[in-house]
């Protein structure tokens, strides 16, 4: 299973908490009755019980029924996951719910790697994010940060998504380029307009320095380390 492969790589290489991609796995949006603590040990069973008619597991499919009456099925590619090359292997799990803002979190597992979808239960609009997100103190924003070496992990990057849809407030997404020289880790919120990061260099001499994502003039900006 993809999650198991990711766990082994992350835990061995970085000594992070079990089932996690960082020292600070988010607990926001963890469903009622879910006793896990990492990024990859969230309970679909607990989430299905919490969200009620919004979602159900139908065989290999995760079916969402949005509040506007539309339905969408996220279909696991079980056969491809069992083939020799596993090309096209993908599995979907309901792993989080944010009742205050009616947001659903879906984990998307591949043969190597994972990503997440943050879905608005009202309309079905979604945003692809790199890890289970962290609420800002005022709960107006959700921030995700993830990095790792090699394919067995999430996309390298970060996201900041508004919890309430507003045409004048944009999502912000950043993906580390292939030749990027830094890995980033979430280190907490400072107020509501600054996401603290720990940046670790990939070049020698290795060093770790604090940096941040900051909101200025109505937009989010990454302060790249120097």
Which positions ≥6 away from 167 have C-beta within 8 Å?
none
Residue closest to 165 by CA, chosen among 127, 193, 192, 199: 127
Length in residues, the chain: 226
Separation between Cα atoms, residue 87 and residue 99, nearest integer Å = 35
Instruction: Determine whether 100 is exposed, middle or buried from the number of CB atoms within 10 Å of its CB (0-12, 13-18, 19+).
Output: exposed
Which positions ≥6 away from 216 have C-beta within 8 Å?
193
Separation between Cα atoms, residue 49 and residue 197, nearest integer Å = 34
Report the predicted TM-score, pTM, of the whole model to 2 decimal places: 0.89
Separation between Cα atoms, residue 219 and residue 214, nearest integer Å = 8
Query: Over its length of 226 residues, how does the chain's per-residue pLDDT go in tens digits?
Result: 333 333 333 333 344 566 677 788 999 999 999 999 999 999 999 999 999 999 999 999 999 999 999 999 999 998 888 877 778 899 999 999 999 999 999 999 998 889 999 999 999 999 999 999 999 999 999 999 998 766 566 789 999 999 999 989 999 999 999 888 999 999 999 999 999 999 999 888 889 999 999 999 999 999 999 8
Separation between Cα atoms, residue 133 and residue 56, nearest integer Å = 23
Question: Is there a contact between 144 and 135 (Cβ–Cβ < 8 Å)?
Answer: no
């Amino acid at each position: 299973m993809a999650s198991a492969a990711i766990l082994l790589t992350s835990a061995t290489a970085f000594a992070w908490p079990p089932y996690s991609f960082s020292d600070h796995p988010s607990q926001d949006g963890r469903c009622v009755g879910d006793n896990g603590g990492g990024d990859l040990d969230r309970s679909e069973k607990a989430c299905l019980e919490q969200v009620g008619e919004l979602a159900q597991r139908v065989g290999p499919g995760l079916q969402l029924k949005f509040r506007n009456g539309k339905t969408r099925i996220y279909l696991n590619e079980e056969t491809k996951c069992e083939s020799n090359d596993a090309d096209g292997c993908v599995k979907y799990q309901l792993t989080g719910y944010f009742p205050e803002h009616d947001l659903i979190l879906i984990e998307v597992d591949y043969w190597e790697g994972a990503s997440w979808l943050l879905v608005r239960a009202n309309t079905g609009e979604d945003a692809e994010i790199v890890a289970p997100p962290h609420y800002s103190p005022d709960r107006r924003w959700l921030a995700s940060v993830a990095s790792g070496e090699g394919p067995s992990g999430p996309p390298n990057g970060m996201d900041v998504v508004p919890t309430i849809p507003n045409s004048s407030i944009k999502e912000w997404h950043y993906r580390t380029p292939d030749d990027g020289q830094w890995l980033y880790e979430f280190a907490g919120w400072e107020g509501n307009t600054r996401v603290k990061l720990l940046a670790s260099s990939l070049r020698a001499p290795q060093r770790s320095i604090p940096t941040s994502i900051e909101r200025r003039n109505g937009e989010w900006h990454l302060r790249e380390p120097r």
